[in-house]
Chain A
Amino acid sequence: MIAREVCRRVLQKAVSTGADYAEIFAENTVNHTIGMIADKVDSIRDATIAGAAVRVYKGLRSVMATTVDTSEAGLIRCAEKAAEALGQGKAEIEVVLRERLYGDIHPIRIVPMTAGNAAKVDILKEAYFAAREYSDAIKQVEGTFLDVDHNILIANTEGIYAQDRQIRTRLIMTAIAEKNGETQTGACRPGRRMGLEMFETVSPKETGIHAARQAVTMAGAGYCPAGVMPVAIDNGFGGVIFHEACGHSLEATSVAYGRSQFSGKLGQMIANPKVTAIDDGTIPNAWGSINFDDEGTPSRRNVLIENGVLKTYMIDKFNGRRMGMAPTGNARRESYAFTTTSRMTNTYIAPGDDKNEDIIGSIEYGLYAKEMGGGSVNPVTGEFNFAVNEGYLIRNGKVCEPVRGASLVGKGSEVIKNIDMVGSELDMGQGMCGSSSGSIPTNVGQAMVRVSSITVGGR
C-alpha cells in the first residue's frame, strides 16, 4: 500500500518535534451492501475508504492527524501536522522499519469483492423469500448482504511494518409480523471473517426462517411482567450480557483513568466462581477475529476472568502507558478516521458443566431469554440495559408462553456474581460494537447461563 521507505521518512518527520513514539495506519477498504425490501433489491451501497492516520505520543500525550491524501507528500504533511501539534522539540529517535509477515490464520476462498453482485443477490433472495413465505403474518421483510474488504498497513517507530487483509461477510434478515394490529420484529444476523464460502456452513434459508419465526412468535406474545427474578439466558448472542456488563469495563479505555467499576481489581474475585471469561481474536474465520491488532500487536487469547478471579484487562499501547502494562492485542479502530483504543474481539463466557434442562428446571418463576437484542452500558457505573428479542416465561421449571418488551437491567459488577449456572454448549453471536474508536465487528458468546436474580423490565 505504502512503501516501507516512504513510511520510514513519514515516521521520521512525525518524531521531528520529540515524540517518543509514532505510528502510521493506512487503509484501503471497500464496503459493499445490497439491500432488499418489499421483495426487490432496493439499494446498493458501494464505498471505497482510503486514507491514513499518523499518531505520535510523548509520555501521556497523544496527537493524531488524518489525511485522504496517501501520496508521500500528503503523508509528510499529515506527519508535520501531528508533530507540530505535539509542540517544540527535536527528533530523538532514528526510525528503522523491518517487515513483519504475521501470516493469515483466516483463509478466504471466495473473495466477495470479485464475486459479482449476482451471486450475492442469489444468497440474499434465498434468505429473503424463506422469511417472506414463512407465514401469512409476515408483513414485511428487510434483507441486507454486506461484505467488507479491509486492507490495512501499520508501521511504527518500534520497527513494525506489517499489512493485513481482513475480509468479512454478513447476512442480516429482519422480518416484521402483524397479529391483531400489533407489529413485532424478528431478526437473524450471521457474519464471519470469511468470503462467500460462509454460506456453505450458514444456511441463508435458515437465516430467513429464524427471523420470521421470531417475529411471528413475538407478535402473538403479551407484555413481559416486570420484576426481579431468575433469568436463563441462552447461548450465542446471549453473551451480549457479558460484553455489556463486564467486557467494556475491562477495556483499558476506561480502566486506565480509574473510571471503570473494575479498576484496581486485578487478582480479586469479581465474579461467581462459575465464570471464566475469555477474549480471543485468534479463532479462525470468526467475525471478531484479527491476525494482529490495529497497532500491529499480534492477536491472542486473553483469559480475562478465571473461575471468578480478574486476570487481565484488554489493553492498547497508549492506555497501557498510563497503566504501566503491556498491550494485549486488543487495539482496534473502525477506520483511519478514528483514534485506536482497546476493544473486544471474540468475547465469551467459557462453557461449564451444567445441563440446559437443569438450568430451566431450577427456575420456579422467571424468564427464559432465548435471544437477546442490543444494549448499552455506562462503564463508569457498570449500569447496563439490554433488550430481550425473544423471551418466554418459566413456571415450575418449564418454558411457557412467549413475552415481548422485556429488557434486562443491572449493574455489571453485580450480575457476574449472580451467574451461578453455566451450561456446556458454547455458541457465538455477531454484532457491531460501537465505542470511541468507532464501530467494529465483535463476537459475543456463551453457553446457556442462569442469573440467579436480575431486574426484568417490562410493563
Chain B
Amino acid sequence: MDFREFKDAVVAAATAAGLVDYELYYEQGESISAGSVQRQINQFTNANSGGVCFRAVINGKIGAASTEELSTEQAESIVARAIENGETIESEEKVFLCEGGKSYEPYAPSGLAIPATSELVDAAIDANDRLLKVDSRVEESSAATAMAEKAHISIFNSKGLDLSWDNTAVGMMAMAITSDGNEKTNAYEMKFGELSGDLADEITAEAVRSAISKLGSQVAPTAVCPVIFSPDAMASLLMTFCSAFSSENAQKGLSLLAGKEGAVVASDAVTLVDDPFCEKNPFRINFDGEGCPAHRKNVIEKGRLTTLLYNLKTAAVAGRETTGNASRANYSAPVGIAPFSMYLEAGTLTEDELFAKAGNGVYINSLGGLHAGANPVSGDFSLQSAGAMIENGKKTTPVKSFTVAGNFYELLGKITDLSNEVIFPSPSGTTTFGSPFVLVDNLSIAVKYFLQRKTPRSFALRGVFVHFMRFISDAPFVFSHRRRAA
C-alpha cells in the first residue's frame, strides 16, 4: 500500500480509538552509490528505505510508534502501540503538535536528479583513476565512491498541518592511502555537487594532500600557546559540543549554558549562526521535525548568547516560542533538538593575516578521538591532534603526536580572530557544521602521542545516507556505548 492509503488507514484507526491530536511523519529515500578500488567497481548499492512514525497525545503525553511496513495491519498496530507507550510516559511536561496554517520561507532545492547507474559507475572509476594518478605515493588500495540520494519527508497532523519536502543530493568521496615506504597514512574527502572530472580532481587532490601532509611529521613541543584551528578541526569541535546549545539539555542539567541566555559566553569576535537555508547544506529545508517553520538565527552574537535551540516542548517549558529546531535523526527517532547548518561567522582577516597575528604557536588541522576525549556536558577536551608549527607568522614544519587540551566554554572566550571565509567540511547527520580559520589564545599543547588520526566523521546525512560509508571498507571504526537501539 502506498503512503496515502496508509495515512487513511491510520486516520481511521486513530479516529476509532478516540484520538483527537495525532501526527504522522513519513520519510522515504532512495540512495545509489558505486565504490571503486583498483579502477573497478567493487560495490554498487541501490537502497530504498523509509518509514512512518505515528505520534498521538495520550492523556497529555506523547505516545509514539513507527514502522517501515505500510499495511493495514501495521496502521492499526502503530496506533495501538502509540497508545500503550503514551500511557507509560510519566514526564509532566506539556506536549504540543504544530498548528497548521503557518507561513514558511521558501527554500531552494538542489535541482539535481539521481544520475543513471552507468553515469555513477563511470564517475566512481574515473575518480579512482584520478586518485591513483595524483601522486606516486598514493597506494593502489585507495578508493573512490560516487553517490546520490533522493529524500522525501511529509508531516501530516490533526491540527491542519500537511507539509512535504523533496530534495536530491549528489556527491563524491575519495579515500587516499599514502605511503613513503616507512609509514602509511590516510585521509578522506567528500564533496557534494554534480558528478564531473572537476569535482573528482578537487576531492582526490585534497584527500591526497591531506594524507601526504601527515607523512613524516615531527613531534610538537609542549607549550601553552596561540592555536589556529582549521575550519575542519573547528567544525569537529562544534559538532562535538553543539549539544550544549540544546534547550532540552539545558533544562535537564546537561548543559552549562543553562540560564545564560542574554549573557556573554564568548569573546566579542564570536558570532555563531544556525541557518536552515545555508547553501552549503545539500538538504536545505524550511520546516523542522515537528513541522514548525525553520529560520536563520544567531545563537551567539558578538559573544552574547542570544538563544538556545528550542522545539515546541522545551519552548513551552521556558514560556517562549520555538526556534524551529525540532529534529528527528530518522523517522523512528524521538523528536529531539539539533541545529541545521551551524557555523562561526567569518571575521575580517585573510588566512595569511591570521597566521601573522598568531606569531608563534601551533596550527591544528586534524582532531581525533572526539567521542572519547571530549565531554559535551563539562566541555572538557583532550584530543589527539595533528597540524603544523606556526613560526614568525607562517605555517612551517608539519607536526603530529600531540594533544590539545582545554574546555570548550573557555575556548569560546579565548577566540581572538577568525579568517574571512567560512568553509564547510562534510556534513554530520542532518547537520552541516562550518567555520573559518580560528585563532585561539593560549591553549595547552602537550606531547603525549606518537600518532595522528583524523576523526571518524560520519558522512550520514539523512538516515539513508549512511550507506555512503560502506564503500570505504576500512572506514574508521567507533566502539560506542551511546544509547541507540541495540
Determine if B262 is an interface residue (Cβ-Cβ < 8 Å).
no
Contact A64 B66 (CB under 8 A): no
* Contact segment of A15-23, A358-366, A381-389, A391-399: A381-389
Determine if B110 is an interface residue (Cβ-Cβ < 8 Å).
no
- Which residue of B is nearest A287, CB measured? B486
Contact A338 B470 (CB under 8 A): yes
Instruction: Give Cα A188–Cα B477 distance, bound, in whole angstroms.
Output: 22
Determine if B453 is an interface residue (Cβ-Cβ < 8 Å).
yes
Query: Which residues of A are found within 8 Å of B380, using beta-carbon distances?
Result: 405
Instruction: Give Cα A121–Cα B85 distance, bound, in whole angstroms.
Output: 11
- Which residue of B is nearest A59, CB measured? B40
Given contacts A40-B90, A385-B368, A433-B477, contact A378 B485 (CB under 8 A): no
Query: Which residues of A are found within 8 Å of B471, using beta-carbon distances?
Result: 436
Query: Which residues of B are found within 8 Å of A45, using beta-carbon distances?
Result: 64, 66, 332-334, 485
State the majority secondary structure of interface residues on A: strand
Contact B479 A375 (CB under 8 A): yes
Instruction: Give Cα A257–Cα B375 distance, bound, in whole angstroms.
Output: 35
> Which positions 85-120 of chain B face chain A at CB distance < 8 Å?
85, 87-92, 117
Query: Which residues of A are found within 8 Å of B88, using beta-carbon distances?
Result: 34, 41, 44, 117-118, 121
Determine if B225 is an interface residue (Cβ-Cβ < 8 Å).
no
State the majority secondary structure of interface residues on B: mixed
Report B122 CB to chain A, min CB distance, Å: 13
Contact B449 A457 (CB under 8 A): yes
Given contacts A184-B378, A248-B477, A375-B479, contact A41 B50 (CB under 8 A): no
Query: Which residues of A are found within 8 Å of B451, using beta-carbon distances?
Result: 381, 383, 409-411
Query: Which residues of B are found within 8 Å of A46, using beta-carbon distances?
Result: 64-66, 81-82, 85
Given contacts A40-B90, A176-B253, A409-B384, contact A337 B66 (CB under 8 A): no
Determine if B74 is an interface residue (Cβ-Cβ < 8 Å).
yes
Contact B185 A63 (CB under 8 A): no
Report B179 CB to chain A, min CB distance, Å: 10
* Contact segment of A4-12, A77-85, A103-111, A129-137: A77-85
Instruction: Give Cα A405–Cα B129 distance, bound, in whole angstroms.
Output: 44
Query: Which residues of B are found within 8 Å of A387, using beta-carbon distances?
Result: 369, 372-373
Determine if B266 is an interface residue (Cβ-Cβ < 8 Å).
no
Determine if A268 is an interface residue (Cβ-Cβ < 8 Å).
no
> Which positions 210-258 of chain B face chain A at CB distance < 8 Å?
252-254
Contact of A33 among B50, B405, B481, B485 (CB under 8 A): B485
Query: Which residues of B are found within 8 Å of A353, using beta-carbon distances?
Result: none
Contact with A along B65-86 (1 / 0, CB 8 A): 1111110001001100110110
Given contacts A50-B69, A183-B377, A407-B382, contact A436 B469 (CB under 8 A): yes
The number of chain A residues touching the other chain, given as a range, is 35 or more
- Which residue of B is nearest A46, CB measured? B65
Given contacts A40-B90, A176-B253, A379-B477, contact A436 B484 (CB under 8 A): no
Report B265 CB to chain A, min CB distance, Å: 16
Query: Which residues of B are found within 8 Å of A459, using beta-carbon distances?
Result: 382, 405, 444, 446
Of B471, B477, B478, most A-chain CB atoms within 10 Å: B477
Contact A65 B252 (CB under 8 A): no
Contact A407 B483 (CB under 8 A): no
- Report the number of A-B residue pairs with Cβ-Cβ less than 8 Å: 304
* Contact segment of B41-49, B154-162, B303-311, B432-440: B41-49
Determine if A297 is an interface residue (Cβ-Cβ < 8 Å).
no
Query: Which residues of A are found within 8 Å of B47, using beta-carbon distances?
Result: 64-66, 337
Instruction: Give Cα A427–Cα B453 distance, bound, in whole angstroms.
Output: 30
Instruction: Give Cα A185–Cα B85 distance, bound, in whole angstroms.
Output: 29
Contact of B68 among A50, A185, A410, A458 (CB under 8 A): A50
> Which positions 452-486 of chain B face chain A at CB distance < 8 Å?
452-454, 456, 464, 466-467, 469-486
> Which positions 260-287 of chain A face chain B at CB distance < 8 Å?
260
Contact A379 B464 (CB under 8 A): no
Contact with A along B47-59 (1 / 0, CB 8 A): 1111101000000
Determine if A339 is an interface residue (Cβ-Cβ < 8 Å).
yes
> Which positions 167-189 of chain B face chain A at CB distance < 8 Å?
177, 183-186
> Which positions 419-435 of chain A face chain B at CB distance < 8 Å?
431-435
- Which residue of A is nearest B470, CB measured? A436
Instruction: Give Cα A327–Cα B49 distance, bound, in whole angstroms.
Output: 29
Chain B residues within 8 Å of A, Cβ to Cβ: 37, 40-51, 53, 63-70, 74, 77-78, 81-82, 84-85, 87-92, 117, 141, 177, 183-186, 252-254, 332-334, 368-369, 371-373, 375, 377-378, 380, 382, 384, 403, 405, 444, 446, 448-454, 456, 464, 466-467, 469-486
A to B CB contacts below 8 Å, 15 in the list: A31-B486, A45-B333, A50-B67, A172-B481, A182-B378, A183-B378, A253-B473, A376-B456, A378-B186, A379-B474, A386-B479, A409-B384, A434-B480, A455-B450, A457-B384
